[in-house]
């Protein structure tokens, strides 16, 4: 049996999808027009599945800074910071992030995925224990594996289960890293961070919060859930990404512990990766400034989220429990979700299709991510389109109940 | 001290609801290929077993757990501390 035999089930699954004229996992955006519009399959399409929460990807200041850096510093760095040295802009961005969070240091990574790999693998190694929320992102799972610590999971957002598992660890709890996310990417629910902090303190553990989906979204200054819940001084480290609210690519880690900066010398995903491009660094730095200076963007994002959540609820969709920029409609079956996703696309609406095993509790989801850049009219159009594809769902439910 | 012999009947009882497709559960039953558990169901079963025996099963050990016997032996090891 060849190594490639294992791909057969995937090939079959792809062929089955293509036979129905649907391939949601190989979508091509032919032309991107704005943070919320693109041309897909030749049709103008409203994007409501891009995690572009503040709509900064086309902000003129970000584009200008990026273009200037491109002309000034070139297209890439062609190597790692350890081997090739850092550009001064890398340090500038790290100081800006540290200043934003009010901590002494920040460490920048080339992607958000690598930020989790880099921070988690550096913090917890052989002899240490990790206790991660069961619904964590794949980058958290992979980062835990890379470090070589013993990895345990607790039930999603279940502080009692977390407490129980820390108790079982006995003295080892003091060398345990707890990992949670500010906002979970699939259903948009938040970690019960205040309670988690209490449990962390009770057992003397260390806490990392991944604020990928909450940076720029939560907190008075947009710093995320730790700020919103008033527990920043008790969160040991924060990991974040540039590829959502900040509209570029990359990631970072910060900490209240001064030793954290030394991960530059131990974190393989930091050491052995080409450093972020100057143009990316430049736009990210400007985007961070915009987050600081423009709380109205966050306010607009929440107003838009309210409008979409209320509209979809009114039609009859079952949504994730919390109002927020991630709005996930739960669909009874994978087949229905596929058909509805395709129906929405044909009406010019792009959402994320999420099906098992990538989803919590085996749910099939049509996942929307709202942007501050969506206009009320766009949101109305999205709601109308969801209403149009809802009829078959209603008929199906009626047929089940008779 | 709880031994594998004590653990096995309790484990078989816990796994029974997942074994409807197969004729009967044995020590050699493969948890994935024979019971047909998907990754989500495996995690649900493990959480149930963790509570039942008051243990925490490390994700690192899962690749070595294929059969009911493997799982029973893992529980025994964890209970020994």
- pLDDT tens string A26-48: 889 999 999 999 999 999 999 99
Which residues numbered 134-173 in A keep a CB inside 8 Å of some CB on B?
Answer: 134, 141, 144-145, 150-153, 155, 165, 168-169
Calculated CA dihedral for residues A119, A101, A233, A302, nearest 10 degrees: -100
Q: Do A361 and B38 touch (CB under 8 A)?
A: no
pLDDT: is A18 or A267 the higher one?
A: A267
As a 3-state breakdown, chain B gives helix, strand, coil percent values, each rounded to 5, of 60, 0, 35
Q: What angle do CA A42, A47, A48 make, to 5 degrees?
A: 150
> Is A110 marked active-site?
no
pLDDT one-digit tens code per residue, A333-381: 988 999 999 999 999 999 999 988 777 777 899 999 999 999 999 999 9
Q: How confident is the model at residue A22 (pLDDT cuts 50, 70, 90)?
A: confident
Task: Confirm if A390 and A312 have CB atoms less than 8 A apart.
Answer: no
State residue B41's pLDDT score.
82
Distance CA A318, CA A331 (A): 8
Distance CA A350, CA A24 (A): 10
Nearest CA in chain A to B57: A152
Task: Confirm if A238 and A211 have CB atoms less than 8 A apart.
Answer: yes
Averaged pLDDT, A302-308: 98
State residue A49's pLDDT score.
97
Residue to mutate among A167, A168, A358, with most B CBs inside 10 A, is A168
Domain A59-293 of CATH type 3.20.20.70: no
pLDDT one-digit tens code per residue, A64-114: 999 999 999 999 999 999 999 999 999 999 999 999 999 999 999 999 999
State residue B37's pLDDT score.
81
The pTM for the full model equals 0.94
Task: Confirm if A227 and A218 have CB atoms less than 8 A apart.
Answer: yes
Q: Do A151 and B58 touch (CB under 8 A)?
A: yes
Contacts of A178 (CB under 8 A, 6+ apart): A130, A131, A132, A162, A196, A199, A200, A205, A206, A207, A208
Is a pLDDT exceeding 60 seen at residue A402?
A: no
Q: Do B59 and A168 touch (CB under 8 A)?
A: no
> Is A156 marked active-site?
no
The dihedral built from the CA positions of residue A365, A371, A376 and A378, taken in this order, carries a sign that is negative
**CB contact A356 to B (< 8 Å):** yes
Q: How confident is the model at residue A323 (pLDDT cuts 50, 70, 90)?
A: very high
Q: How confident is the model at residue B25 (pLDDT cuts 50, 70, 90)?
A: confident
Long-range contacts of range B61-69, CB-CB < 8 Å, 24 or more positions apart?
Answer: B65/B31, B66/B30, B66/B31, B66/B32, B67/B27, B67/B28, B67/B29, B67/B30, B67/B31, B68/B8, B68/B11, B68/B12, B68/B15, B68/B25, B68/B26, B68/B27, B68/B28, B68/B29, B68/B31, B69/B27, B69/B28
Q: Do B43 and A153 touch (CB under 8 A)?
A: yes
Could you give the C-alpha distances from A362 to A340, A348, A399, in angstroms and in order?
Answer: 18, 27, 23
Could you give the C-alpha distances from A23 to A151, A181, A278, B22, in angstroms and in order?
Answer: 35, 30, 35, 35
pLDDT: is A319 or A15 the higher one?
A: A319
Nearest CA in chain A to B54: A168
Topology of domain A3-57+295-401, CATH? 3.90.1150
> Is A185 marked active-site?
yes
* Omega before A243 within 30 of 0, i.e. cis: no
Residues of A in contact with B48 (CB under 8 A): none
Is a pLDDT exceeding 60 seen at residue A401?
A: no
Q: What angle do CA A146, A83, A87 make, to 5 degrees?
A: 105
Averaged pLDDT, B73-80: 94
Distance CA A57, CA A248 (A): 7
Q: How confident is the model at residue A394 (pLDDT cuts 50, 70, 90)?
A: low
Q: What mean pLDDT is reported for chain A?
A: 94
Ranges of each domain in chain A: 3-57+295-401, 59-293
* Nearest neighbour of B40 by CB, restricted to A145, A152, A356: A356
Distance from CA of B56 to the nearest CA of A (A): 7
Which residue of the set A173, A185, A245, A275 is catalytic? A185
State residue A392's pLDDT score.
62
**Which stretches of chain B sit within 8 Å of chain A by CB?**
38-40, 43, 47, 54-60
């Amino acid at each position: 049996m060849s190594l490639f035999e294992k791909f057969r089930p995937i090939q079959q699954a792809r062929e089955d999808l293509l036979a129905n004229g649907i391939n949601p996992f190989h979508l091509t955006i032919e032309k991107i027009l704005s943070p919320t519009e693109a041309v897909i399959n030749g049709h103008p399409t409203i994007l409501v599945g891009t995690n572009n929460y503040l709509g900064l990807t086309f902000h003129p200041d970000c584009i200008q800074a990026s273009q200037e850096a491109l002309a000034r510093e070139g297209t890439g760095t062609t190597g790692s910071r350890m081997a090739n040295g850092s550009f001064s802009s890398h340090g500038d961005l790290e100081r800006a992030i540290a200043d934003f969070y009010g901590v002494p240091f920040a460490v920048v990574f080339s992607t958000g995925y690598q930020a989790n790999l880099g921070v988690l693998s550096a913090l917890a190694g052989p002899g240490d224990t990790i206790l991660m929320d069961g619904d964590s992102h794949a980058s958290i799972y992979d980062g835990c594996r890379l470090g070589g610590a013993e990895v345990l999971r607790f039930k999603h957002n279940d502080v009692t289960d977390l407490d129980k598992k820390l108790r079982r660890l006995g003295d080892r709890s003091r060398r345990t890293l707890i990992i949670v996310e500010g906002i979970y990417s699939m259903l948009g629910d938040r970690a019960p961070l205040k309670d988690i902090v209490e449990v962390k303190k009770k057992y003397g553990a260390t806490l990392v919060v991944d604020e990928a989906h909450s940076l720029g979204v939560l907190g008075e200054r947009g710093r995320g859930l730790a700020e919103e819940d008033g527990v920043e001084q008790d969160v040991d480290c924060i990991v974040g990404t540039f590829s959502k609210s900040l509209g570029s690519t990359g990631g970072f880690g910060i900490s209240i512990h001064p030793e954290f900066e030394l991960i530059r010398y131990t974190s393989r995903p930091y050491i052995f990766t080409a450093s972020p491009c100057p143009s990316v660094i430049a736009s990210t730095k400007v985007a961070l400034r915009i987050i600081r200076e423009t709380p109205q963007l966050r306010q607009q994002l929440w107003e838009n989220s309210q409008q979409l959540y209320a509209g979809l609820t009114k039609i009859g969709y079952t949504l994730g429990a919390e109002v927020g920029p991630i709005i996930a409609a739960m669909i009874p079956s994978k087949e229905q979700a596929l058909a509805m996703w395709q129906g929405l696309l044909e009406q010019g609406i792009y959402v994320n299709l999420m099906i098992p095993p990538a989803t919590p509790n085996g749910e099939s989801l049509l996942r929307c991510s709202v942007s501050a850049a969506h206009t009320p009219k766009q949101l109305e159009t999205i709601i109308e389109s969801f209403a149009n594809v809802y009829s078959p769902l209603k008929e199906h439910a009626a047929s089940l109940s008779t | 001290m709880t031994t594998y012999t004590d653990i096995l009947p309790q484990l078989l009882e816990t796994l029974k609801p997942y074994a409807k497709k197969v004729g009967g559960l044995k020590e050699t039953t493969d948890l994935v290929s024979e019971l047909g558990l998907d990754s989500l169901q495996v995690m649900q079963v493990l959480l149930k077993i963790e509570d039942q025996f008051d243990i925490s099963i490390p994700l690192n050990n899962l690749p070595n757990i294929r059969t009911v016997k493997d799982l029973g032996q893992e529980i025994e090891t964890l209970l020994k501390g």
